[in-house]
Structure 1
Amino acid sequence: MLFLNVIVSTTTLLAYLLPFLAPRWFAFLSVLTLFLPFLLIVNLLFFLFWFIQLKKFIFVSGITLLLGITFINKFYNLQETILPKEESDFTVMSYNVRLFNKFKWYSKANIPQQIAQFVSEKNPDILCVQEYSELEKTRFSTYPYKQVFKEGKNIIVGNAIFSKYKIINKGKISFPGSSNNVVFADILKEKDTLRLYSMHLQSIKISTDIEDEAIEKMDESKSKYIYKRLSNAFKKQQEQAELIKKHYRACPYKKIVCGDLNNSAFSYVYRAVKETMQDTFETNGSGFGKTYNFKYYPARIDYILVDKTMLVKQFDTFNDFYNSDHFPLLARLNLKHRR
C-alpha cells in the first residue's frame, strides 16, 4: 500500500507542474491534466486509510494534498457565496448550444425553443454563445446589440455576443487551420467600457455518450489513437491561447472572457488564457462545477473569467438543463473594486 501511495503521490506532484509545461513540448504529459481530479481523490483515500490505522505514512498523501490545495479549489468548491443584489449589478451568461441540436443529436423536441425560453427566463444582460447557429426561433431579438461571426465549409459554426448595452466596437480572432474562433465586443456599461470575449478553442472530440461496453472493448490501438488526438488538440489549443493572450494584452479595458476552452482548469491552456483574471466558479461557485455532460467525469471546461478588479457576486451552473452537451453558466457581477 505504501508503494502504491508513493506512485500515486509522485504522479500527482508531476501533474501539479503541467500548467507550467507547454503542450507543444510536453504533449505526452499534458493528457495527465485530465486525470488530476482522480489523483486527488485517490490521495485523499490513502490519507484516510493511514489516518484510520494511525500510521506515520499519512504524511505521503498529506503533504501531496497540502501542496495541491489551490488545485482542489479548481476541482471542487465547498461553499457557494451569494452577495446582495444592487441596481448596478449586471449578469453574463455563457453557453455552448451545440448548434441548437441542428443535426438531431438529441431526440428531444423543440430544443431551440427551449434554449430561447431558458435565456429569456434568466434574462442575462450579456449573452455569449458558442457553436452558434442562426436558427429562426433563436435569434434572441430582445437584445438590441450583437456581434455574430460564423465560418466553416460543410458545417457552419459560429460565436456570438448579445448585449443589452451598446456595442461600440467589435471584431474576431480566427485560428489558423481550424473552424474554431473568438469574437469580441467593446460594450459601454454606464461610464465604463468592457471588453467581452466569447471563445471556442479546439475540440478534443470525446463523445458524451460512451457506454460501458465500449470502454470494455477499448484495446491498445484505440487508446493510442485517443491519446494522439488529445495531444494534437492540446498543441492547437496552446497556439490559440497564445493568439488570444496577445490580443487582449493590448486591450485597455476591463475584460470578461467567456467560453469553451475544451480543457481543464489544471491545464497550461487555462492558465495562459486566465492570466490574472478571476475564475467566477472558484470565487463564488459550489460543488464540482460540471459544465460538460460527460458520463463518467465531472468535466469543467467552460468558464467565465473576469477582470481582477470586478466584484463577483454570484455564480451558477445549470446542470439540470439538458439541451446541449454543455451546461449554461451565469455570473452576476459589479464593476466596483472587489474588497
Structure 2
Amino acid sequence: MSERMSRWKYVVHSYLEDDGKYKFGLAVYSRFPLTDAHSVKFSSRQNSSMYVDVNIEGKKIRLFNNHLQSTQFTGNDKKELISGDVEAAAKKVGNKLRESYKVRAFQADTISALVKLSPHPVIVVGDFNDTPASYVVNVIRGDMSDSFRERGQGYGYTYTDLFKLFRIDYVLHSKDIETIDYESPPVVWSDHKPVVVKLQIR
C-alpha cells in the first residue's frame, strides 16, 4: 500500500492522538497541489474530518474527507442476535444505535456548516457510518449530488458485514462537478469496499 501511495506527489495527513501515539487518522493523496488544510476534531478519539483545497489547473476544489462515529456493533452483538438472548441483545444494540446516532448527527451538522462556508466547489467523501435515508447523510448532502445515484448500479452496499446490506461510504459533490463513472469493486482490503469515482468539473 505504501508503495502505491508513494506515486502521489502531494499528501496531507490529519492524525488523532491516542495515549501519546498516532493510531487513527485521515489522509488525502493527490497529483494536484494541496493547500489550506484543516483538521476537524470531534469528541470521539477515533473519528474526525478534514478539508483541503485541491488546485486543479487554476481551479480550486475544496475536498472534505470524513470518518464519522460508528455504531460500535461487534461480532459478539451479531452472535447474540442470532443465537443468544435475542431480546436482551436487541436492547443492547438499540442503545448503541441511539447513542451513535446522536454523535453522528452532531458531526453531520458540523460538516454541513463547513461545507456551506466553502468559497469553492466542494467534494465530500468518506465513511459516514449511516444509510442514504438517514439524517446524517441528508444533512451533509444538502443540495449536492450523490455519485452513486448519478452513476452507480445495483444495491450498492459498501459495508461487507451485516449481511452486505448497507451503503455507508459516500462521494458527494457540488452541482458544478459531475460524476463520469462510479465503481465499488469487491476487493478484500477491509470490512468496507473501496469507492472509486471519476469526476469532472463542468
Tell me the TM-score normalized by structure 1. Answer: 0.56
Match of 1:278 among 133, 145, 149: 145
Q: Which has the higher strand share?
A: 2
2:80–2:89 contact (8 Å) kept in structure 1: no
1:209–1:295 contact (8 Å) kept in structure 2: no
1:208–1:325 contact (8 Å) kept in structure 2: no
Larger Cα-atom Rg: 1
1:292–1:327 contact (8 Å) kept in structure 2: yes
2:107 is matched with 240
Question: How do residues 318-333 of structure 1 correspond to structure 2 at under 5 angstroms?
Answer: 318-319=185-186, 321-333=187-199
2:50–2:65 contact (8 Å) kept in structure 1: yes
Deviation track 1:24-55 (CA, whole Å, cap 9, x = no partner) reads: xxxxxxxxxxxxxxxxxxxxxxxxxxxxxxxx
- Let me know the Cα RMSD of the aligned residues: 1.9
Aligned partner of 1:143: which letter?
W
Q: Does 1:148 align with 2:13?
A: yes
Q: Quick one: distance in 2 between partners of 1:139 and 1:332?
A: 19
Aligned partner of residue 192 in structure 2, secondary structure: coil
Q: Quick one: distance in 1 between partners of 2:142 and 2:153?
A: 22
Q: Quick one: distance in 1 between partners of 2:3 and 2:81?
A: 35
Would the alpha carbon gap of residues 213 and 203 (structure 1) be closer, same or farther in structure 2, given more than 3 Å must change? closer
Shift of 1:140: 1.3
Deviation track 1:156-201 (CA, whole Å, cap 9, x = no partner) reads: 1111111100012111111124430001110100121000111000
* Equivalences, count: 200
Q: Percent of aligned pairs with the same residue?
A: 26
2:116 is matched with 249
2:201 is matched with 335
Q: Quick one: distance in 2 between partners of 1:235 and 1:202?
A: 9
Gaps of 5+ in 1: 1-115, 117-136
Aligned partner of residue 222 in structure 1, secondary structure: helix
Would the alpha carbon gap of residues 167 and 292 (structure 1) be closer, same or farther in structure 2, given more than 3 Å must change? same
Aligned partner of 1:152: which letter?
E
Aligned partner of residue 152 in structure 1, secondary structure: strand
2:152–2:182 contact (8 Å) kept in structure 1: yes
Gaps of 5+ in 2: none
Match of 1:165 among 28, 32, 53: 32
1:22 is matched with none
Superposed structure 1 runs of 4+ greater than 3 Å apart = 207-214
RCO (CA 8 Å, sep 6+): is it higher in 1 or 2?
1
Would the alpha carbon gap of residues 296 and 334 (structure 1) be closer, same or farther in structure 2, given more than 3 Å must change? same
Match of 1:182 among 49, 53, 62: 49
Aligned partner of residue 299 in structure 1, secondary structure: coil
Question: How do residues 37-76 of structure 1 correspond to structure 2 at under 5 angstroms?
Answer: none
Q: Which has the higher helix share?
A: 1
Aligned partner of 2:14: which letter?
F
Q: Does 1:265 align with 2:102?
A: no
Question: How do residues 178-217 of structure 1 correspond to structure 2 at under 5 angstroms?
Answer: 178-207=45-74, 215-217=82-84
Q: Quick one: distance in 2 between partners of 1:288 and 1:207?
A: 24
Q: Does 1:307 align with 2:174?
A: yes
1:298 is matched with 165
Q: Quick one: distance in 2 between partners of 1:256 and 1:285?
A: 17
1:222 is matched with 89
Shift of 1:213: 7.5
